[in-house]
Structure 1
Amino acid sequence: MNENNSKFILAIALSFIFLIAYSYFFQPKPKPEDQAHQITQSTHSLQGQAPGASHLAPNTLEQNAPQPTQNTPLIAFVRSKGVEIEIDSLGRIAQVYLKDKKFTAHRQEGFLEHVQELLGLAKPKPPLEKLPLLGTDALKPLELRFVDNALNAEAFKTPYSASAKEITLNNAPQSLVLTQELPGLTLTKTLTFYPNLTYDLKIHLEPKRASNTAYVLSNGARPVADADGYAFHGVLLGTQDHKLEKIEDGKAKKTKTFSNTTFIASVDRYYTSLFFANTPLNAIVDTQPSKNPLPFVSLKGDATLHGYIGPKDHHLLAQINPALTEVIEYGIITFFARPVFLLLDFLHNYTHNWGWAIILLTLIVRIVLYPLSYKGMVSMQKIKDLAPAMKELQEKYKSDPQKLQMHMMQLYKKHGANPLGGCLPLLLQIPVFFAIYRVLYNAVELKSAGWMLWIHDLSLMDPYFILPLLMGVSMYAQQALTPNTITDPTQAKIFKMLPLFFTIFLITFPAGLVLYWTINNIFSIVQQWMINQMLDKKKAREIAKHKK
C-alpha cells in the first residue's frame, strides 16, 4: 500500500467514524411537542391535489385544526395482557401502552447516568410498568376533521359516547362502538381490536344524504417511545408498485397529496402507527412550523380501514399484511439490508438467540468476502515488498514527478502489483458492513434479547463496557497484523489511534452492534493470520526456488 493508498484508506476510516459519530451524538433529537396537531399551512398548499382528494376545500386542514386538547376526558379503555389503549371523548386513541417486559424491562440511559449507577452515585432506575407510545400533545390516531368548517367546529365541541367503558382482549377480538350526535348527522366509529395490536375501523354516517360528507382521518403523529436521532422519524407511504415515499421530521416543507397508497405509517426507530385498507387510500401529509409531517387519509361518507399501533416486528407485520414490512426502513441501503435481516432471522430460528445469530452472520460475511480480502492482502503485501525500491525511485526522481510516476508504474507492472488492490476490496466491503450496521440498529427484535451472562439487552449499551474494550483491543491487534507502508509520521499516529477513536465512539452504541464489530475484528485477525502464513510460505518457496 503506497502513501496515496494509505491516505485514501485513512480518509475512508475517519469519514466513516465522523459520519456515525455525528449522526448518533449530534443530530437533533425530535421533541414530542413538535408533533402537536396545530397546522399552519397556507391556502395554496392544497391545490393540485391527487385524484380522489378533490373534495377537500383549500385550507381545510389549517382551518379545521383543533386547539391542543391534552386533558380531553377518557371514555373507554381496551386492556389485554400486553397492551392498554385509552380512547378519549373526541373518539381518538389518546394513548397506547405496551406492558410486555420486552419493552419495559430495560431503560435507555445516557453514558454519564450509567457510570454514576456503576459507581454507586445514583440509584438504578426501576423498570417501567408500561411504555407509552404516543406524544401527550400530538396528533392522535382516529382524529377526524370535517371539510365543512361549521360542522367541524361543532364536532370538536361534542363528545362521543362509548358502548362500553372497558373491554378486555384475551384470544378473541372485541368491538367498541363510539357515537357522536351532531346537528343533522350521527357519526359512528365501530372499532374491532385484535390481540396482535391491529384494529378494524368502520365509519358510518346517518342519514343517507350524509354519504357526500367529506372529511379527513389521521393515523396519528409518529410514536415517541424512542427518541433516537439517527433512525428515521416521520411518515412513510407505500405505493401500488412497492415503492416507498418518505417524509422525514423537519423536512415537510409543504402539504403533499398521494393517491392509491397501500398504507400510511408514522414511525420512529422501533414503533409505528399506521392505516392500511383493502382498497387504495388517498393520503394527505400536511406540515407545521417545525416542518414535521402530519398524516391524514381523505374520505367521504362511510369508510372501512385497518390500523396497527405497536412495534415494527417483522414477523408480526408480515402476518398482518406482507406490504407492511416496508415500514421497517434502513435508509438508502434498504434494498441490501432487508435480505441481510432475513438471513439474520433465519439464523435466529436455529440458534434461538440473537447474539449467536449475529456471530454466525458475521462468520458468513467473512467467508463470503474472503476472496476479496485475500486478493487485497496479496496486493498490499506486494506493495510492502516493493517499499525499498519505491523509496529509491522517490529519492532519485524527487524533482521530476512525471518520471517518478512513470517508473513507479513500470515497477508495479514488472512485479504484478496493483496500487489500488488494497483499496478496492475495502470499498466493496463498506456497503456490506453498513447494511449490517443499519439492520442491527433498527431491529426491534433485539430489545430485551440477552447474550452471555452480562448482556441483558442487545439494543442497549454494554452495561460494563466489556464489548467496546474488546472491540478496541481486537482492532489494534488486527491493525498490527495488517501490512502497511505509511511513511508520514502524522498519518501513522492517526492510524494507530483509530482503535481508540472507535472504542470511544462505540461505547454507548447498542451492544448488538458492538458485538458484530468485535466478532468481525476477531474473525479478521484469524483470517489475516492465515493469509500472512500463506504469503510467508509462498515467499519461502519462491526464495528456495530462486536459490536453486
Structure 2
Amino acid sequence: MNLRFIIFVVITSLSLFFVNQYFVPDPKETSSNEQASAAVVDKLPSIGIGTLPLFPLYSTDSSSDAISYGLEVGKGTYMLPTGALPEEKETLFVKNNKGLIKKVNLINKDLSKEKCLIYSEQAKPLIKTLSLPAGKSFLTLLQIEETAPFAYPAMINNGKLTLGKEKPSSNCLVIYDDLGEFFVLGIYDASYEQIIPFSSIGSLDSLIDYVPMQVQKNVVHNEQLYVLENETMQLVFSNLGGSICEVNLPIKSSQHPHSVILSVDEDALIAKQAPLSNLFPLSVYKESVDGKITQFEPKEGGYYPLLRRGIAKKDRRAITRVLPKFYAASVTEGNNDELASIPYKLKSISSKRIVFSAQHAGRRITKTFELPKNGKDAPYVLLANVEVEGNNTDLYFNSGVPEVEFVSGRPSPAITYISYNGSDLSTGQIKLPKTVSTLEHITPDWVANSNGYFATIIDPLDKVGAGVVSTYVPGEVDPSRITLIDVLSDRYPASKYPGYQIAIPLSTKSNSTDFRLYLGPLDAAVLKKVDAFYTNQVTGYSPEYNKAITYQGFFSTIIEPFARLLSILIGFCYKFSHSWGLSIILLTLLLRLILYPLNAWSIKSTIGMKLAEPELKKMQAKYKNDPLKTRTETMRIYKEYNVNPLGCIVPLFLQAPFLFGIFSVLKTNFAIRGASFIPGWINNLSSPDSLFSWSTSIPFIGTSFHLLPLIAALLMFLQTKQSSKGNDTSNMSDMQKQQQKMNFIMPVLMLVIFYKMPSGLNIYFISSSVLQMVQHSITLKSIQKRALKKNPKEVLVKTKRK
C-alpha cells in the first residue's frame, strides 16, 4: 500500500508538471554553431553634463542649498529619477538661467511604477520623447544624487543594453541625442540593469508625446501604401523596400462567412482600449479600382494582423511604424539592412498584381507580387518574384515578424522547415535564436515562421543556396499589438514578447527567384487544400505545408502519432456535434471506452489490494524477522487474491501517450482557437474560461474568475475520496496518514497548475474525471454484488475450469 501510494504521487506530480511544461514553449536557445558573446565596452561616447539642461532644485524659495537637480524636459517641466531627493516633496523651487525662482509641483503620484519624478509649473505638461531606437545607438544614463549629477555612457543594439565598467548604482534617466536635440526615452532600472521605455509605463501616457526621429522624418513622411486584396487576405505593400508591411486576414463575419479565423479576446480588448490600432491598414492607402489608382481611408476592425505592423496610442501621428527591414518580402544584403529601406518606384498595379522597381549600388531590383486567379482554390497564397540585374550574391528574402498569439495561455513561436534529399523528405525545427543565427547546413524546400496558430511560409520555387538566417527581434524594437492591452497595469510589457524573423538566400544560379508564400492560419483543412492544389499530378510532388503544424514539448516524436490519430477522432466527433466543446467531451468518452479494460484492471487491482491488506499486515507482523518468508507469503497472498501490485501503475503508463496526445490536439488544433462552447462563460476553448471579470489585475488570479479549474480540482478531490473509501482510518500507519493529507494537497496543486490553462483542457479533465468516477462506481458495485454470493477472498479469484 505504501509503495503504491508513493508511485501514485510521483506519477501524478510528474504528469501535472508535464502538463504545465508541455504548454510552455521551448526557451530561446542559440543553435549549436552560434557563438554569442557580449563584451563590456570600456569607452563609449556620452553626453557631457555641461551640455544638458540641468537646474538645481530647492525645498523653499529662500533656500540657498540645492537638494537635487532636475532635467528640463519641456518648458517649465523637470524630471529626475526616484531616489534623487532625500524625501518626496509635493512642491519644489527651481532657479532658471535668468536666476528667477519658480515654484513647480509634483505631477505624477504612482512613483513605484514610474520610477521617476516629474515637477512642472503646468498642471498637465506634455513631454516630447522618442521610441527606443532600433539598431545600434549610443545613450547616456543620467544618475542624479543629492550632491551632483553623473553621466554614464551606454549602448543599445537591437534592444540589448551594454554598459561600461562603471555602472550606475541607482535609477537613471535614459537620454538620447537626436542630431543635437536631447530626449529622455525612459528609465534605467539599476536593480535589473534594464531600460524601461515610457511606452511600457502606461500611467505616463497622458504626459508623453512621441515624435519621429530627425533621421527618419523624411522616410516616414514619404512612405506610400498600396493594397491587394482577395477573399482570404488584405496585403499592404510599402514603397520602402517594395515589401509587405501588413498582412491582414479577414475574421469570420457576415462579410466574410467562409473565413476560418474567429475573433478572440485580444481583438475585442484592442478595439476597445486602442481603437486607432484597430484600423486596417493603419494608414491611408491606395488601390487599383477599374484601372485607376484611388486613395482610401483605413477601415475599423474586421481583420487579424498576421504581422507586427506598428502601434498607435494617441493619434495617427503617434504611430510607431515597423522598420522596413522587418517587413515581409524585404530583401537585405548580408548584415547590411540599408537595401530594405530604399524607396522603390511603383511600376504597375492592378487588382491582382503589383510591381516595384529600384536601383541601388549598381544593381536594379524588380519585385513582382501576384495573387492566384482564384483565391478560394489557393487560400492565403501569394506568388512573388525577385529579379536582380547586377550582383546578386549575399542577398536574402525575409519573412516579416509574426504577431504574438497565445497558445494555451502563452506565446508559442516556432521556426520549422522541410528539405528534400532526392526523394527523401526531412522535417526539422530551428531553435529560437538569442541574436542572429545562420544555419549553413540547411537547404530548405520551405521555411515557416510561426506564432503557434499562424505562419508565414517562404517556399522558393527556384533552387537557392544553403543557409537559413533566424533573427531575434526585441519587443521594444518591434512591439506587439498586445502591449496596448491594460497599459496602466503594464499587463503585457513589450520586453517580454520578442519576435523572430527568418530569411533565406536568393538564387545565385539565375538573376530571378520565384517564391510561393503562404500567409495564413495553421488550419489542417486549409493546408490540405493548398497542398492538393499545388500537388504535381505527374510527379506526385506536394509542398507538404501541413508539416508546418508542429507538436512541441517533451517526447514530441513519441506523442505525434497519437496526436494525429486523436485529431482525426475529434474531427469525426465534430461532424456529428458541430460543437468543439461537445467534441472534446465525445472524444473523452471515446477514449474512456477504448481504455476501459485498462482502467477496469487498475480499479480491480486497487480494490484487490484493499481486500488483501488485512492479511498482508498480519503476515508482515508474524514474519517481521524473516524477510525471505515475508516475500514468499506476500507473493502467495497476491496470487490468492489475483492481484498484481503493478496493476495500479501499468495502466497509467499505457494511457500516458493518449493523455499527452489530447494535450497536443488542444494546443495545435486551429479550429478550437476562438471556438465558443457556452457564450458568456466559455467563449474561447483555447483560452481560460471567464465567469466574470474586473479591471484591476489580482496576482495569480488576473482580471477574470475561472470556474472550470475549480470544478476540475473538486472532482480530483472527490476521486481520491472515492478511491480511499473503505479504508480503516482507526488503524492507519504514518504513511497512510500522509496519504490522507495528499488527498487535499493534490487537488490544490492541480488548481494552481490548471487555473490559467485553456478551457478545452479543463473540459477534458472534468469529463475524464466524471467518467472515471462512474466506471469506479460500476466496477465496485459489480464486485460487491459478487461478494454477496462468494467469500470476499474469492471475489477476485479466477474460477478454474474443471
TM-score (norm 2): 0.55
Query: Aligned residue for 1:220?
Result: 400
In the alignment, which of 729, 747, 754 is matched to residue 506 of structure 1? 754
**SS in structure 2 of the partner of residue 255 of structure 1:** strand
Q: Which runs of 5+ in 1 are unaligned?
A: 43-61, 114-122, 169-173
Q: Mark the CA change 1:546 to 1:142 in structure 2 (over 3 Å): closer, same or farther.
A: closer
Deviation of 1:314 after TM superposition, in Å, equals 1.0
How many Å separate the matches in 2 of 1:124 and 1:388?
66
Tell whether the 8 Å contact from 2:385 to 2:512 is kept in structure 1 after alignment: yes
**SS in structure 2 of the partner of residue 266 of structure 1:** strand
Is 1:458 the counterpart of 2:616? The answer is no
Is 1:532 the counterpart of 2:690? The answer is no
**Which protein is bigger by CA-based radius of gyration?**
2
* Larger RCO of the pair (alpha carbons < 8 Å, separation 6+): 1
Query: Aligned residue for 2:367?
Result: 189
> Cα deviations across residues 355-403 of structure 1 (Å, max 9, x unaligned)?
1111111111000000111111112211111011122233334455554
> Cα deviations across residues 309-359 of structure 1 (Å, max 9, x unaligned)?
222111111111261111111121223212211221222123221111111
Which structure has the highest strand share of the two? 2
Tell whether the 8 Å contact from 1:91 to 1:178 is kept in structure 2 after alignment: yes
Deviation of 1:249 after TM superposition, in Å, equals 2.1
> Cα deviations across residues 200-258 of structure 1 (Å, max 9, x unaligned)?
1122233xxx4865522122344434476856423101133343211232578953134
Query: Aligned residue for 1:90?
Result: 241
How many Å separate the matches in 1 of 2:437 and 2:338?
28
In the alignment, which of 476, 493, 498 is matched to residue 741 of structure 2? 493
How many Å separate the matches in 1 of 2:2 and 2:600?
21
* Number of residues of Structure 1 aligned to a counterpart in Structure 2: 494
Q: Mark the CA change 1:87 to 1:380 in structure 2 (over 3 Å): closer, same or farther.
A: same
Query: Aligned residue for 1:204?
Result: 387
Which amino acid in the other structure matches residue 531 of structure 1?
Answer: T
How many Å separate the matches in 2 of 1:277 and 1:445?
28
In the alignment, which of 143, 153, 169 is matched to residue 330 of structure 2? 143
Query: Aligned residue for 2:716?
Result: 475
Query: Aligned residue for 2:447?
Result: 264
Query: Aligned residue for 2:516?
Result: 306
Deviation of 1:540 after TM superposition, in Å, equals 2.7
Which structure has the highest helix share of the two? 1
Q: Mark the CA change 1:230 to 1:456 in structure 2 (over 3 Å): closer, same or farther.
A: closer
**SS in structure 2 of the partner of residue 13 of structure 1:** helix
Query: Aligned residue for 1:521?
Result: 769
Query: Aligned residue for 1:407?
Result: 633
How many Å separate the matches in 1 of 2:8 and 2:626?
26
**SS in structure 1 of the partner of residue 307 of structure 2:** coil
Q: Mark the CA change 1:347 to 1:544 in structure 2 (over 3 Å): closer, same or farther.
A: closer
Q: Mark the CA change 1:141 to 1:403 in structure 2 (over 3 Å): closer, same or farther.
A: farther
Deviation of 1:429 after TM superposition, in Å, equals 0.9
Tell whether the 8 Å contact from 1:82 to 1:98 is kept in structure 2 after alignment: yes
Deviation of 1:289 after TM superposition, in Å, equals 7.4
Tell whether the 8 Å contact from 2:717 to 2:743 is kept in structure 1 after alignment: no
Which amino acid in the other structure matches residue 399 of structure 2?
Answer: N
Query: Aligned residue for 2:431?
Result: 248
**SS in structure 2 of the partner of residue 421 of structure 1:** helix
How many Å separate the matches in 1 of 2:792 and 2:382?
76
Is 1:176 the counterpart of 2:354? The answer is yes
Q: Mark the CA change 1:461 to 1:545 in structure 2 (over 3 Å): closer, same or farther.
A: closer
Q: Mark the CA change 1:132 to 1:380 in structure 2 (over 3 Å): closer, same or farther.
A: same
Further displaced range: 94-103 or 324-333: 94-103
Tell whether the 8 Å contact from 1:94 to 1:141 is kept in structure 2 after alignment: yes
Query: Aligned residue for 1:77?
Result: 227
How many Å separate the matches in 2 of 1:544 and 1:414?
11
Q: Mark the CA change 1:353 to 1:125 in structure 2 (over 3 Å): closer, same or farther.
A: farther
**SS in structure 2 of the partner of residue 462 of structure 1:** coil
In the alignment, which of 377, 395, 412 is matched to residue 621 of structure 2? 395
Tell whether the 8 Å contact from 2:366 to 2:386 is kept in structure 1 after alignment: yes
Deviation of 1:125 after TM superposition, in Å, equals 9.2
Tell whether the 8 Å contact from 1:263 to 1:274 is kept in structure 2 after alignment: yes
Query: Aligned residue for 2:264?
Result: 106
Query: Aligned residue for 1:20?
Result: 19
Query: Aligned residue for 2:118?
Result: none
How many Å separate the matches in 2 of 1:258 and 1:238?
13
Q: Mark the CA change 1:83 to 1:373 in structure 2 (over 3 Å): closer, same or farther.
A: same
In the alignment, which of 603, 608, 617 is matched to residue 377 of structure 1? 603
Query: Aligned residue for 2:578?
Result: 352
**SS in structure 1 of the partner of residue 383 of structure 2:** strand
How many Å separate the matches in 2 of 1:249 and 1:534?
55
How many Å separate the matches in 2 of 1:287 and 1:277?
17
Deviation of 1:186 after TM superposition, in Å, equals 2.2
Further displaced range: 376-385 or 344-353: 344-353
Tell whether the 8 Å contact from 1:82 to 1:100 is kept in structure 2 after alignment: no
Tell whether the 8 Å contact from 2:408 to 2:686 is kept in structure 1 after alignment: no
Tell whether the 8 Å contact from 1:318 to 1:325 is kept in structure 2 after alignment: yes
Q: Mark the CA change 1:40 to 1:479 in structure 2 (over 3 Å): closer, same or farther.
A: closer
Which amino acid in the other structure matches residue 324 of structure 1?
Answer: Y
Further displaced range: 138-147 or 326-335: 138-147
Query: Aligned residue for 1:417?
Result: 643
Query: Aligned residue for 2:7?
Result: 8
Which amino acid in the other structure matches residue 414 of structure 2?
Answer: G
Aligned-pair Cα RMSD in Å:
3.9
How many Å separate the matches in 2 of 1:394 and 1:275?
69
Tell whether the 8 Å contact from 1:257 to 1:284 is kept in structure 2 after alignment: yes
Q: Mark the CA change 1:448 to 1:289 in structure 2 (over 3 Å): closer, same or farther.
A: closer
Q: Mark the CA change 1:280 to 1:293 in structure 2 (over 3 Å): closer, same or farther.
A: farther
How many Å separate the matches in 2 of 1:252 and 1:393?
66
> Cα deviations across residues 523-544 of structure 1 (Å, max 9, x unaligned)?
2122222211222223333239
How many Å separate the matches in 2 of 1:473 and 1:407?
40
**SS in structure 1 of the partner of residue 445 of structure 2:** strand
How many Å separate the matches in 2 of 1:213 and 1:254?
19
5 Å-filtered alignment, 1:35-54, equals none
Q: What is the percentage of aligned positions where both structures have the same residue? A: 23
Tell whether the 8 Å contact from 1:132 to 1:225 is kept in structure 2 after alignment: no
In the alignment, which of 439, 456, 461 is matched to residue 665 of structure 2? 439
Which amino acid in the other structure matches residue 522 of structure 2?
Answer: K
Further displaced range: 78-87 or 257-266: 78-87
Tell whether the 8 Å contact from 1:29 to 1:229 is kept in structure 2 after alignment: no
Deviation of 1:418 after TM superposition, in Å, equals 0.5
Deviation of 1:28 after TM superposition, in Å, equals 9.0
